[in-house]
Amino acid sequence: MSGLDGERLQGGLELRNWRPGDQYRPVGRASEEKIKILFQEARIPLWERRNWPILTIEDHIVWARRFGPAVSYAATSASRSVAKVSEERAH
């Protein structure tokens, strides 16, 4: 499942751009990673990183474009409500 567990989304969600030093643990990773490292592994060009969307609750990253939800906010088969994050490109 690739959504967010709706019950874990307590507090206000904030959509912001990636900032240097941001790190979190996406699903499938053994530990927290700097998003910069994820960019490098995925070969994301520097000019695309500037406006990379990140969803946060307080100072915790909940979701990042392409890298998905954080382990602690990810929906599971036991989740009663699931929030899907999608992005529409401007034409």
Closest by Cα among 89, 83, 90 to 63: 83
Sign of CA dihedral 60, 16, 79, 33: negative
Share of the chain above pLDDT 70, in %: 97
pTM: predicted TM-score of the whole model, two decimal places: 0.88
Q: Measured between alpha carbons, how far is 25 from 78 in angstroms, rounded to an integer?
A: 20
Q: Measured between alpha carbons, how far is 74 from 89 in angstroms, rounded to an integer?
A: 24
Mean confidence (pLDDT) of the chain:
91
> ∠34-40-42 over CA atoms, to 5°?
105
Give tens-digit pLDDT for 30-39: 999 999 999 9
Give tens-digit pLDDT for 53-82: 999 998 899 999 999 999 999 999 888 999
Whole-Å CA distances, 30 to 4, 27, 70: 19, 8, 12
